[in-house]
Amino acid sequence: MKIAIEAQRIFRPNKHGMDFVALEVIRQLQQQNDGNEYYVLVAPGKDRCLEESVNLSIIELRCPSYPLWEQIALPLAVKRLGVDLLHCTSNTAPLWCPVPLLLTLHDTIYLEPLSNQNPSIYQRMGRLYRRLIVPRVINKCRKIITVSQYEKKHIQDTLHIPPERIVAIYNGYNTHFRLLPEINSDVLRNYIPNNDFFFFLGNTDPKKNATRTLKAYSIYLSKSTIKRPLLIADLKEEYIDSLLRQANIMEIKSYLYYPGYINNYDLIALYNAAFAFLYPSVRESFGIPMLEAMACGTPVIAGNTSAMPEIIGEGGLLVNALDSYSIANALLKLENDEEYYNAQVMYGLERAKQFSWKNTADRYIKIYKQFV
């Protein structure tokens, strides 16, 4: 088969969840000897993170905006290439497509009530675009892939999709996330003075639960004799200050480190150096960072909602994400119970082995064959 894969944003330097999923699956497909020809359609960008090979060609499409790129440039390129199938990887797809369409629908959060009262214009426009496109394109898709059993059921209930048209395929994680014999201190110093800290990967999306996490950390500081610092990724100082003022906990700021966006490869050293990784989100369709941290031997504190229990498993450390005291108690339990801490380290290392991008790609190929 000749298969076109939409991966519009994988060349942008500051990648996020869906970009990494598309990139990692494409890299695995590139290694398969399955007889398929793959055409990856992307927008130009500075991070040339994917190279062509015998079975994979990269098609760059220039367009002034994402909607025009997806709705006009993408289907025209698909028609010109004469492919058998288009796989769109990031929730939306062209309303008109000259070939059968496969869609990876990571979640439908944008169809739910807006929880952030002050989203940026960019966030508002992206949300509006997805709300317009997703319900209309669903019926045009031959098959829909999502990333967890939780999200599969949620999408079925929300969009009334027959169960035979949607399949859950778990994500994996990059194998460069592993337990290191020695941590690169130069990388570490770029973000925080020393190791043995708590690590929180958040952003401005309310589902990441930044306010309650900071409140939980303030409770931890009031009860801990060690008082480990907290490294916060992807949040700017002004935003953190607003959260601290809102919660009336400005006094904890001296314990916080907030370098902003963290390079994906630097995360390896940071996970390894961290005492524990905080992921007390209120809603996740999957949660790749949990796997990355566990593969580095770092205990994970995760929310007990949505897909997180499904991914972290029964032996994982789950908390009530809506209760700051529940999060704080988990921090203190890891700190004060060495035997429990070591058990979480070993559990995470074994749990992460159950997920891989190769398994994900193998499942994708089986679905591609259904289109023959």
Helix (H, G, I), strand (E, B) or coil at 23: helix
Measure Cα distances from 338 to 299, 332, 350 in Å: 12, 11, 19
pLDDT for the residue 114: 66
Provide CB contacts within 8 A for 350, sequence distance 6+: none
Same-domain status, 360 and 346? no
Same-domain status, 34 and 160? yes
Measure Cα distances from 210 to 215, 234, 250, 264 in Å: 9, 11, 14, 21
Same-domain status, 118 and 243? no
In a domain, residue 180? The reply is no
In a domain, residue 178? The reply is no
Short-list 138, 44, 158, 147, CA closest to 97: 138
Same-domain status, 210 and 331? yes
pLDDT for the residue 116: 55
Return the C-alpha torsion angle 276, 280, 285, 288, nearest 10. -10
What is the span of the domain harbouring residue 51?
Answer: 2-172+356-369
* Integer Cα distance of 29 and 144 in angstroms: 18
For position 70, which CATH number holds? 3.40.50.2000
Per the CB < 8 A criterion, the answer to whether 4 and 41 are in contact is yes
Rounded to 5°, angle at Cα 336 from 308 and 343: 50
Same-domain status, 152 and 249? no
* Integer Cα distance of 19 and 11 in angstroms: 9
Record the pTM. Answer: 0.91
Q: Please, where are the H alpha helices in 138-254?
A: 149-159, 185-189, 210-223, 237-247
In a domain, residue 179? The reply is no
Same-domain status, 194 and 318? yes
Same-domain status, 274 and 339? yes
In a domain, residue 254? The reply is yes
Per the CB < 8 A criterion, the answer to whether 61 and 42 are in contact is yes
- In tens digits, what is the pLDDT along the chain, a chain of 372 residues? 999 999 999 999 988 889 999 999 999 999 988 899 999 999 999 999 999 999 999 999 999 999 999 999 999 999 999 999 999 999 999 999 999 999 999 998 888 776 555 566 777 788 899 999 999 999 999 999 999 999 999 999 999 999 999 999 999 999 999 999 999 899 999 999 989 999 998 888 888 999 999 999 999 999 999 999 999 999 999 999 999 999 999 999 999 999 998 988 999 999 999 999 999 999 999 999 999 999 999 999 999 999 999 999 999 999 999 999 999 999 999 999 999 999 999 999 999 999 999 999 999 999 999 987
Same-domain status, 320 and 365? no
Using H for helix, E for strand and C for coil, what is the string for 275-295? CEEEECCCCCCCCHHHHHHHH
Retrieve residue 316's tokens. Answer: 């994982």
In a domain, residue 177? The reply is no
Short-list 316, 317, 309, CA closest to 333: 317
* Integer Cα distance of 327 and 167 in angstroms: 33
Provide CB contacts within 8 A for 285, sequence distance 6+: 106, 107, 146, 147, 148, 150, 151, 306, 307
Query: What DSSP element (H or E) covers 371?
Result: none
Q: Please, where are the H alpha helices in the chain?
A: 17-31, 66-68, 74-81, 121-137, 149-159, 185-189, 210-223, 237-247, 266-273, 288-295, 308-312, 324-336, 338-352, 357-369
What's the number of domains the chain is made of? Answer: 2
* Integer Cα distance of 323 and 328 in angstroms: 9
Half-sphere exposure of 38 (CA within 13 A, CB side): 30
Same-domain status, 36 and 117? yes
Q: Which residues pair with 56 in a beta bridge?
A: 38, 53
pLDDT for the residue 115: 59
Q: Which residues pair with 279 in a beta bridge?
A: 302
Per the CB < 8 A criterion, the answer to whether 289 and 133 are in contact is no
Per the CB < 8 A criterion, the answer to whether 229 and 257 are in contact is yes
* Integer Cα distance of 112 and 127 in angstroms: 10
Residue type at 225 in one-letter notation: T
